[in-house]
Chain A
């Protein structure tokens, strides 16, 4: 009772010599793509690692001002290059052992911060950050750790009574200095 529907669009695929070869080739290419997306691209492309260590240095009451302390520690001068209060001032420093070819770049930045230790009487300190970059993750980690240890020792020698602690250990709220 129904009329057969003529569908001219549904033509059989034309025979091609590579017709059956095309499907495995396509599937192989898709498999290659999946492998590249999951393994080669995330892990295989050359990459440069970075590590960062931040240290807070709080000079003792009656001790040197943060600017003097930064100067004494050979840190980037707070006032020299900063365009705005609290802005990171940084410089490229040589913190790399001469025989370490895996570390390509290390940069130290310092910022003036105010810690809310007492209401209405913020205490000023230095937030010092070292960023080391290189092709070997463990090498740059050790460089950053060695530089952090060295800075801690120099700070304690430069200003007896100074408080030095890694940023994650800081429990007091802080903000960047509003004026210098």
Chain B
């Protein structure tokens, strides 16, 4: 049954029909599993943090709160994301383009250097003692940051550079080998954009941390704190834009796997990706909107005009991806304004992760991103818990859930193991999404309506208005989210170890019905397919735009009332 393809070192995925080079699988899986390990660590630490911010519990003393916050931030925003993105880049280059990785040695070298740097940074934070400041994520100069932490971060970035170089080399070789292919598949194109953004971000980070490292060991006497912050945010925010591009790429992939969706317009989707490459990293300026060392024109250009280019790209994807799903489901015969949506495969983990991730990212993360990134409105929330609320909506409710969906697919398609329970996997995605939505909303409201500061170990000692109710919601929701995260980890690991072996061989499922056509209901035979009827998606997008405008307007009203403008 197991039919190897012509070349012995390839096997053919039974679902997608892609030829997978066997040697690609170990480094891809090791990066993905390492990422999941850091996700577990960061998730467990998040419980301690949430129970500390819940002042009725106030679990950790100040010093341990900051140690925990540093490890949580770097595990989640750094190590979980970058390791998994390297896995995605190997998938997008080697598996989708059906070529071997350009160098297996480079793949293992990248992994060893990355894990070495990550462990050095993490262990330093744990054992450095009270004589040093905790870097948190915002390791601003001239805080007394331990040089070994900075060295660890630099080493990690070097390893990621090797992985990025390997990705570019593999794509280049694949293009050279297939002269008939005029352009890259959309998923690979998105991954290339993510890799370009990653290169820019990691370069910025390496320069900033290299500079800071030389300062901490006394090689250079001074450091320009403002210029450092500009460079640092190329990494600090840029690393999250790698997530964004990788997440959108994952959405296209999940839509294809779930219902066989292909984008309605390749050109439009590709243009949106190019807009990310051009504009998204300039948006990092909104982190220094309150800094005195940059001009107002610089702030407004970067945080407004440039960001609008990136937001436009996101809005294009927000239309194109549901539109592609609608188009695919209408081709199967589903009619009505939302008939395609009612008959979508909600019980399929690939579709569930797409739906939850896209909705929460857009509604919670996207709307708050646009409003909080506006210079005037930012003054109401700068350095409050609303900002972590925003990026928990984007990075966790958005990116992490998309990556969870991809991880379930990697287990099935690359590791060739059946999930122990598809129902449980689907439930896990909805459960985790609901819990993270509650976490994000509680944080956003605490920051926006109560001014609760971020990065603070004991707000009860401050003379600020507090909301014990929202603090309790945050603490309880965070614990539920960790339960959802542990469920994901258990399902992933147990499926890898004990899931039924999936067959390899020629394509088994018709891709027109999606990689999982079984979970979609059968349309009536007289229902005629309507080409390019995207009225359902258009309606959803108009509702989303109305929501965005309403919330944007209310923020201006609240700003006016805050300052007493009559």
Contact = CB atoms under 8 A, between A and B. Distances in A.
B468 A46 contact: yes
A50 B558 contact: no
Given A37-B558, A38-B558, A41-B449, A50 B466 contact: yes
A42 B449 contact: yes
A11 interface: yes
Contact of A109 (B461, B547, B557): B461
Nearest to A130: B463
A80 interface: no
Given A34-B550, A50-B465, A105-B460, A41 B445 contact: yes
Interface string B462-496: 11111111100000000000000000000000000
A2 interface: no
A45 B470 CA distance: 9
B463 A50 contact: yes
Contacts of B508: none
Contact of B467 (A13, A16, A37, A48): A48
A48 B466 contact: yes
B531 A46 contact: no
B551 A9 contact: no
Given A26-B543, A30-B550, A50-B466, A38 B336 contact: no
B550 A50 contact: no
A38 B554 CA distance: 6
A12 to B, nearest CB: 8
Contacts of A34: 550, 553-554
Contact of A13 (B337, B532, B543, B557): B337
B130 interface: yes
A14 B527 CA distance: 13
A13 B542 CA distance: 14
Contact of A14 (B335, B462, B463, B464): B335
A180 interface: no
A109 B534 CA distance: 63
Contact of A8 (B336, B445, B463, B531): B531
Contact of B547 (A33, A48, A90): A33
A115 to B, nearest CB: 23
Nearest to B562: A42
A30 B546 CA distance: 8
A52 B463 CA distance: 6
B450 interface: yes
Interface string B533-549: 11100010001001100
Interface in B318-342: 335-337
Q: Which of B533, B543, B547, B551: most chain A Cβ within 10 A?
A: B533
A47 B462 contact: no
Interface size bucket, B side?
A: 35 or more
Interface of B is mostly: helix
A83 B554 contact: no
Which of the four size classes fits the interface of chain A? 20 to 34
Interface string A74-88: 000000000100001
Contact of B450 (A9, A11, A47, A109): A47
A142 B470 CA distance: 27
Contacts of B460: 105, 107, 133
A104 to B, nearest CB: 9
A147 interface: no
Interface in A1-18: 8-9, 11, 13-14, 16
B112 interface: no
Contact of B530 (A11, A38, A88, A107): A11
A131 interface: yes
A46 B546 contact: no
A83 B130 CA distance: 10
A9 B557 CA distance: 39
B535 A51 contact: no
Contacts of B543: 26
B551 A131 contact: no
B461 A131 contact: yes
A49 interface: yes
Interface string A42-81: 1001111111100000000000000000000000000000
Given A8-B531, A9-B534, A47-B450, A26 B546 contact: yes
B461 A47 contact: no
A109 B458 CA distance: 14
A42 B465 contact: no
With most chain B CB atoms within 10 A of its CB, the pick from A30, A48, A90 is A48
Given A8-B531, A9-B534, A46 B464 contact: no
A88 B182 CA distance: 67
Contacts of A16: 336-337
Contacts of B531: 8-9
Interface of A: 8-9, 11, 13-14, 16, 26, 30, 33-34, 37-38, 41-42, 45-52, 83, 88, 90, 105, 107, 109, 131, 133
21 contacts: A8-B532, A9-B531, A9-B534, A14-B535, A16-B336, A26-B546, A30-B550, A37-B550, A38-B557, A38-B558, A45-B469, A47-B466, A48-B465, A50-B463, A51-B463, A52-B462, A52-B463, A88-B461, A109-B461, A131-B463, A133-B466
